[in-house]
Structure 1
Amino acid sequence: MSQYPFIISPVNEEEAQSLPEFIKKNSSQLHKQLEESGALLFRGFSVKDAESFEKVSKAGTPNLLENTGGGSPRTLIQGKVYTSTEYSEDQWIPLHCEQSYFSSMPNYIWFFCLIPPKEQGQTPIGDMQELLTRLDPKLVERFQEKGVRYIYNLHGGKGFSVGWQKAFLTEDKQQVTDWLDEQGADYKWNSDNSLSIKLLAPGLRNHSSTNELVWGNQAVNWHVDTFPAQMKKMIRRVPDFSQINLKAQSRDEK
């Protein structure tokens, strides 16, 4: 693999002011470079706000997706541009594959930094094909064979993290039901207006361009053992803690 991420900078001021046009003009070459490198970093171009960022994203991948079913607290800025996960600054998010708890997941993801942090605040990225080679083959085989069962609990408007209305961008239960049926999800509407979902998704994926096998799940993010130490300690004190109505959990599919 070549430089990761592969850095692209403008050669002059005119190019710096026209990133969408640059992407469209060099689309074939950029996609080839992305396939070889795994990630592209555009540095030194003029992207001033969410509107211009959306234009840049559409220039590279016209069919942007809504954040339907997302479990992280985010805010829609405009169009199909969202804030990144809104956690407090003392929290961290493990490396993961975006929306890999669904049977199908996005082929591309775009990031844009509007206000650089004074310290830290980086968005780390990783090569999931390389990660796969570093894992115990027996573990890889287990994930490939069984997949991952995600247990997803969304409140009905008041509770921890996001409710189903924000996760699915609608107040209409039928729309949510139809979407879950399309996903083949096992779900239940509860008497308190909350929603419980079980999703079975692959543990490994075939890359959409190269078809190479890659690590592709969020088992680490959703597992109780990755919670902050104090929270994990409190949860484990509860009898049969695996049945607690946590926002999200993951288990090996037995």
Structure 2
Amino acid sequence: MSLQQVDYGIREDGEPLPLFVRPKDDNSKQFLQRWLDNNKEWLEQKLLEHGAVMFRGFDIRCAADFEAAVRRVQPELSDEYRGTSPRRLIPGTEAVFSASELPGYYPIAQHIEMSQLPAPPRKVMFCCLDPPTSFGGETSLCDFRKVYRDLDPEVRSKFQEKGVMYVKNYTRNGKKWSIDPTMLKGWEELFGTTDKTVVDEECRKSNIDITWKDNDAVKLVNREAAIQYHPETNEPVWFNHVQVFHLTMLKDELYRFSHRSKSFFFLLLSYLMAIINWLAMTVVRHTEFGFYTFYGDGTEVTASELRSIGDTIWKNMVFNRWEMGDILMIDNFSTSHGRQPYSGKRKVVVCWSPPCQKPKAYRQ
């Protein structure tokens, strides 16, 4: 099956992220599966070039349709998830999950999936099964190769030299009422087990320092490089969760979204989160937050440095409205994703490839 059987191209505004692929005559899921079987090399090249490819207009009705299509390109899918966002397995599938169980008003900042770990997935795939009707709700994208190039050289140099330290705290039973908005889920949900010896072994394999605390709580600390080489193109990529796992993320993302949406509600919400941040910083030690980030040597990342990182990312972010049946494939070693706030209904599901060991850290 040839490329002539589909239309493909970039957005009308010239933005190359993502590349869109649409059917010409046959929009059936069977055609899409056959087409993917015959055009894997082309697709892989376009993922490297653009960072993401969106399949739009095909008759994808459910998570099982999505999984069947994705397996034509990525036969092996992983069910191992070490991120912070609560998720659940979609019935009728083996490896498709809800993209997030966080409430719609909660923004998810741009991130390379599981970049805080030694072996993130090589690809991440999303599918829209119920488009949002409100403003927002996009799975926004950002080319983190551009972020590396555009970032303030002084900030970039400090992260190249020091790396990032991630501190995460989990209770046994998950989130309870807390002044800390980063307490999202428990360690049993994170690791998929109630066996502490299994948790200890998983942390050992991932180079994570683990400390068990009172009431079956646990603290996880690990250090990773902030910048990585892309495993195939050898390009430097901004590759970390530094602003995502910082306590200030929520207020900063809400503030930026309020300006994009011109929403007074989200502006007020961002100010409320700023007050909660101040209270949390007053009451709770940094190392006791649900998650927090430092430079790799344990020194603080300043507010101006975090603002510089956030501004650079937002300058390069791309927003594409979801349509029913959209399938979005992302090169997880070059391109980040996030979620814009929304209200009302929205259903997006996700799957990802098995862990891929990071290439060597970028040094200059």
TM class by shorter chain equals: over 0.9
Is 1:151 paired with 2:130? no
Match of 1:74 among 50, 74, 87: 87
Distance 1:128 1:158, change over 3 A: closer
Contact 1:20 1:59 in 2 (8 A): yes
Q: Hey, what does 1:96 align to over in structure 2?
A: 111
Q: Which moved more, 1:108-117 or 1:203-212?
A: 203-212
Number of positions where the alignment pairs a residue of Structure 1 with one of Structure 2: 254
| Equivalences for residues 38-77 of structure 1 within 5 A | 38-77=51-90
Contact 2:27 2:58 in 1 (8 A): no
Distance 1:115 1:156, change over 3 A: same
Contact 1:15 1:22 in 2 (8 A): no
Is 1:208 paired with 2:231? yes
Distance 1:144 1:182, change over 3 A: same
TM-score by length of 2: 0.66
Is 1:28 paired with 2:41? yes
Match of 1:106 among 85, 105, 121: 121
CA distance in 2, matches of 1:35, 1:20: 21
CA distance in 2, matches of 1:230, 1:201: 32
Match of 2:198 among 163, 167, 175: 175
Equivalent residue letter for 2:214: S
Distance 1:27 1:2, change over 3 A: farther
CA distance in 2, matches of 1:158, 1:214: 33
CA distance in 1, matches of 2:15, 2:282: 50
Distance 1:19 1:176, change over 3 A: farther
Q: Hey, what does 2:257 align to over in structure 1?
A: none
Is 1:245 paired with 2:268? no
Equivalent residue letter for 2:232: S
Q: % of aligned pairs identical?
A: 27
Q: Hey, what does 2:207 align to over in structure 1?
A: 184
Question: How far is the alpha carbon of 1:180 from its aligned partner?
Answer: 0.7
CA distance in 1, matches of 2:27, 2:50: 26
User: Secondary structure of the equivalent of 1:72?
Assistant: coil
Could you list the per-position Cα deviations for residues 163-182 of structure 1 after superposition, in whole angstroms to 9, with x for gaps in the alignment? 11111122222222111100
Contact 1:70 1:168 in 2 (8 A): no
Contact 2:85 2:184 in 1 (8 A): yes
User: Secondary structure of the equivalent of 2:126?
Assistant: coil
CA distance in 1, matches of 2:21, 2:94: 26
Structure 1, unaligned runs of 5 or more: none
Is 1:196 paired with 2:197? no
Q: Which moved more, 1:23-32 or 1:11-20?
A: 11-20
Contact 1:16 1:44 in 2 (8 A): no
Q: Which moved more, 1:240-249 or 1:124-133?
A: 240-249
Q: Which runs of 4+ in 1 moved over 6 A?
A: none
Q: Hey, what does 1:131 align to over in structure 2?
A: 147
Contact 1:235 1:241 in 2 (8 A): no
Equivalent residue letter for 1:63: E
CA distance in 1, matches of 2:96, 2:150: 34
Question: How far is the alpha carbon of 1:233 from its aligned partner?
Answer: 2.4
CA distance in 2, matches of 1:248, 1:20: 40
Q: Please, what is the CA RMSD of the aligned residues?
A: 2.0
CA distance in 1, matches of 2:273, 2:138: 25
User: Secondary structure of the equivalent of 1:109?
Assistant: strand
CA distance in 1, matches of 2:29, 2:69: 12
Structure 2, unaligned runs of 5 or more: 1-13, 176-182, 252-270, 298-364
Is 1:7 paired with 2:20? yes
Q: Hey, what does 2:278 align to over in structure 1?
A: 236
Question: How far is the alpha carbon of 1:193 from its aligned partner?
Answer: 1.2
More strand per residue: 2
CA distance in 2, matches of 1:205, 1:151: 20
Contact 1:186 1:197 in 2 (8 A): yes
Question: How far is the alpha carbon of 1:27 from its aligned partner?
Answer: 0.3
